[in-house]
A and B are shown apart, each in its own frame.
Chain A
Amino acid sequence: MQLTLWSYEGPPHIGAMRIAASMEGVHLVLHAPQGDTYADLLFTMIERRGQRPPVSYTSFQARELGSDTAELVKSTIQAACDRFAPRVLLIGESCTAELIQDQPGALAQGMGLPIPVLSLELPAYTRKENWGANETFYQLVRGLLKSRVPAPGAERELRKAGARPLANLLGPSALGFRCRDDVVEVTRLLDSLGVDVNVVAPLGASPEDLLRLPEADFNVCLYPELADQTCLWLERMFGQRTVKTVPIGIGATRDFIAEVGRVAGIDVSATKEPIWSRMPWYSRSVDSTYLTGKRVFIFGDATHVVAAARIATEELGFTVVGLGTYAREFAREVREAAKRYGVEPLITDDYLDVEARVAEAHPELVLGTQMERHIAKRLGIPCAVVSAPVHIQDFPARYAPQMGFEGANVIFDTWVHPLMMGLEEHLITMFREDFEFHDGATPSHLGPGARTAHPSQERSLDTGSTAETAAATDENIMAWTSEAEQELKKIPFFVRGKARRNTERFAQERGILTITVETLYDAKAHFGR
């Protein structure tokens, strides 16, 4: 058993739902007890979809368990086919149905339906949502295309002379982070390179579109969490190469352009960055100097955190003080990145673990998921959301991609906005005792109350340290003078706990029993970077 307060991912059948809901003409029948229909609200509320997801549930209850749940499966399948007339039917089961072993897939195959029926294996007790989405997408593509795989050794037809290369964009899905706008941005980017998009899948694709996948010259794996298996299979079976760079950030977008050039066999050396690419100049602009060395903690899915770490260090001049992912399947990529930035990787799906690590790292900015937004709010640290799991706010009305040059603009704004602006920060450091301009106050452009959680949090952090000090007092008779306590309060709140601990360590190591203002500054000089 695993104790869980909040979870980063749902069960694998939610992943299957995301694929079905992304597509047109596909219906999913889920063998699931009453109550599992809650998942519909993820699509209709969080993503504000105007249609119910194309999912029919058997909704079995205790009274059916004794009798015939298999009959219920068949009648649900029949009703779904009659009503929704899908062109491909997916059959899956949720955690409880897996235990009662009705084999709904086999039941569906036995019904002689006139459409392709795909039975999904979604092991609910070992796997999670992204795995379920990845697997469902792969099985769907494979199921539809396996009879069309060319014989081994068959040559790929050459592109007609002068024809623009064609690419598939694979991975964008319902409930994905900013997929809707990334598709638009990457399509625009490819167009500027002379590449046309053949199929985008699963988002917005029909089964017929999937049948056209082999017509593309190559695939772009936009979200490896969802599409890496599919890309690999298409590469093996149809000889389509995969562009693996995810174009999030300026550097990654440049690398993406270069990789597309190599894979598509086109010259991209003359490609100019568009005039709307403002992020590089904004970051070089003198007012951004205050961003230098800002301590940032990054947690989320693998693709977005690896990209975020690169942007943070190379494009904004931040210091990465924490990097991690909940996606164990992609832990390797995150470990490698963590090594590059000299931090210990955090691979966990335990929200409490992440919270503890964030508190410990004293970051000035948290880049995370909706979970980290909660953590940051509690700790009074500015935060920007960079990855799924998503909330309704992650589906903004405006165009807000993460990918490409416009994505980099959006990222600059989203990450910098929660921070206090440069001069404001200085003034607060200078006049710390101003009653309405203190460090507990919200950055002036964020309006009142945005950091309301902060004072109590600070108090609790301080109480924690005071308790620590008291304990130390018993043992070593170490104490803070009231002047030193006052001086400590002038240090920004997010490093105050650390300053207190460092000072006490410094004093203890030197046998100093009373911490004065002098000790505080001595310790600061000692530990200063």
Chain B
Amino acid sequence: MTGSNLPSSAQATGCDASMVIRERGQRQVFCGLAGIVWLHRKIQDAFFLVVGSRTCAHLLQSAAGVMIFAEPRFATAILQERDLAGLADCNQELDRVAAEILERRPDIKTLFLVGSCPSEVIKLDLAKAAERLSAAYRGRVRVLDYSASGLETTFTQGEDACLMSLVPELPALADTERSLLVLGTLPDVVEDQFQRLFAELGIGPVHFLPPRRASEFPPVGRGTRLLLAQPFLGETARALQGRGATLLTAPYPFGIEGTLGWLRAAADAWGIASERLEAVTAPAVARAKLSLARQREALAGKRITFLPDSQLEIPIARFLSRECGMELVEVATPFLDRQLMEPELALLPTGVRLTEGQDVDLQLDRVRSDRPDLTVCGLGLANPLESEGLRTKWSIELVFTPVHGFDQAADLAELFARPLARGALLRV
């Protein structure tokens, strides 16, 4: 804990990682298991089996805020006393549970065994279990494993761990070929928009990871150009680089500026002229500008604080500050991947208070003394802040809502404008 002293080493433009305040203490964040809530909807023929405790099961059903009505493609194998006491062979038990799931869901092509805090602590070897089960179900189901324990992953890092487990499974891209790989879960509608833009630009073939179906694994190789749609996928990006992919450096596709910069990175890699990029994107940019202008009226000059949560804080702060005119009071992030955040940090206004990690009580003290117009925080903190007269925005909506790309730029801004508009509206 270094307290809340403002960094003095402000640069002329942008921020750099040296200006970050680091905090350690109680963290008010989800663990990586929460990622299953969107991953299991995205990859339609995959099933996520958490090997953990009743707490894990309870977290999963609470994390979405509402429970999902359809039978979920996730479940928890809850460890019991006899599993811990060694009376039951955990591996045999796991095989039994896996068989039960696969019998119930014959449509499942990929089964993820997801490690948790308790499975990590008792050192249950899920990699070995996945290998064994893969052999047993060869040709029918692929069994993979990753850890989404709170000991190792914070919220969206669970997606990173999941996608990382897919990397060794990806087929090889022939050395003579090249393709663009977009990394990170995107809503289908956004994926289709990007797909159309890439096609019009003449960039292709384009693949997405995760794919909608686990049977559509994209190939990877020396010709792969990698573009990150989400800023929390560092480990997967590095693993893909390990398989020959080249990481394109770009801001993240939030807002007009971010999306344009993101597409430009791909256009540059394909040797497409800047004029062409501008011509292709012009209609979407014009649309986005028009609809963003309305939201900007509501947001300009308003002060915002981000509590550390989804790892999207920095790119979205950049968007809100540069395209919506908001004033950044504090931007906190659970952890700072300096390599992946570099293009974003350069775009942040100088002297912004950047925090990495969390000590929630101290952070709330700062929110109370700053009294920003809007605080972006997790579900556990929102109502307590509202009851103190502070407007809030749930960060979880940022991972559950289509917010990427030109046509969602105004929607993204609207997520932040709505609590302010509501605050102004109510007379109760």
Task: List chain A positions with a Cβ less than 8 A from chain B.
Answer: 1-7, 9-11, 13-14, 33-42, 44-45, 48-52, 56-62, 65, 76, 79, 83, 94-96, 99-100, 123-126, 128, 370, 374, 377-378, 391, 453
Q: Does B383 contact A (CB under 8 A)?
A: yes
A36 to B63, CA, bound (A): 11
The answer to whether B65 and A41 have CB atoms under 8 Å apart is: yes
Contact with A along B24-46 (1 / 0, CB 8 A): 01111111111000000000000
The answer to whether A128 and B61 have CB atoms under 8 Å apart is: no
| Residues 25-77 of B at the A interface (beta carbon under 8 Å) | 25-34, 51-55, 57-59, 61-63, 65-67, 69, 71-72, 74-77
A10 to B61, CA, bound (A): 10
The answer to whether B55 and A37 have CB atoms under 8 Å apart is: no
A355 to B32, CA, bound (A): 30
| Extra 18 A-B pairs, beta carbons < 8 Å, given A5-B75, A36-B59, A41-B378 | A1-B78, A1-B88, A1-B90, A4-B77, A5-B74, A6-B61, A9-B54, A11-B54, A13-B55, A34-B154, A35-B150, A38-B59, A41-B65, A44-B379, A48-B383, A61-B150, A125-B53, A374-B67
A45 to B378, CA, bound (A): 11
The answer to whether B54 and A7 have CB atoms under 8 Å apart is: yes
A11 to B78, CA, bound (A): 11
A60 contact set on B, CB distance < 8 A: 151
A58 contact set on B, CB distance < 8 A: 26
| Residues 74-110 of B at the A interface (beta carbon under 8 Å) | 74-81, 83-84, 88, 90, 93-94, 96-97, 100-101
The answer to whether A95 and B150 have CB atoms under 8 Å apart is: no
B277 contact set on A, CB distance < 8 A: none
Knowing A3-B100, A59-B26, say if A44 contacts B150 (CB, 8 Å): no
Distance from B223 Cβ to chain A, minimum over Cβ atoms (Å): 36
The answer to whether B31 and A35 have CB atoms under 8 Å apart is: yes
Of the residues A3, A4, A38, contact of B62 by C-beta under 8 Å: A38
Per DSSP, chain A at the interface is: mixed
The answer to whether B386 and A50 have CB atoms under 8 Å apart is: yes
Q: Does B183 contact A (CB under 8 A)?
A: no
A56 to B150, CA, bound (A): 16
The answer to whether A4 and B78 have CB atoms under 8 Å apart is: yes
Chain B residue at smallest Cβ distance from A370: B67
Distance from B225 Cβ to chain A, minimum over Cβ atoms (Å): 33
Which bracket fits the contact residues of B?
A: 35 or more
Distance from B112 Cβ to chain A, minimum over Cβ atoms (Å): 15
A44 contact set on B, CB distance < 8 A: 379-384
Of the residues A5, A59, A95, A96, contact of B72 by C-beta under 8 Å: A5
Q: Does B279 contact A (CB under 8 A)?
A: no
The answer to whether B69 and A11 have CB atoms under 8 Å apart is: no
Of the residues B32, B69, B76, B383, contact of A4 by C-beta under 8 Å: B76
Distance from A439 Cβ to chain B, minimum over Cβ atoms (Å): 22
B55 contact set on A, CB distance < 8 A: 10-11, 13, 36, 94-96, 124
Distance from A464 Cβ to chain B, minimum over Cβ atoms (Å): 15
Q: Does B2 contact A (CB under 8 A)?
A: no
- Of the candidate stretches B115-123, B247-255, B280-288, B367-375, the one touching chain A is B115-123
Q: Does B297 contact A (CB under 8 A)?
A: no
Chain B residue at smallest Cβ distance from A55: B26
The answer to whether A37 and B28 have CB atoms under 8 Å apart is: yes
Of the residues B27, B54, B93, B151, contact of A128 by C-beta under 8 Å: B54
Q: Does B387 contact A (CB under 8 A)?
A: yes
The answer to whether A62 and B101 have CB atoms under 8 Å apart is: no
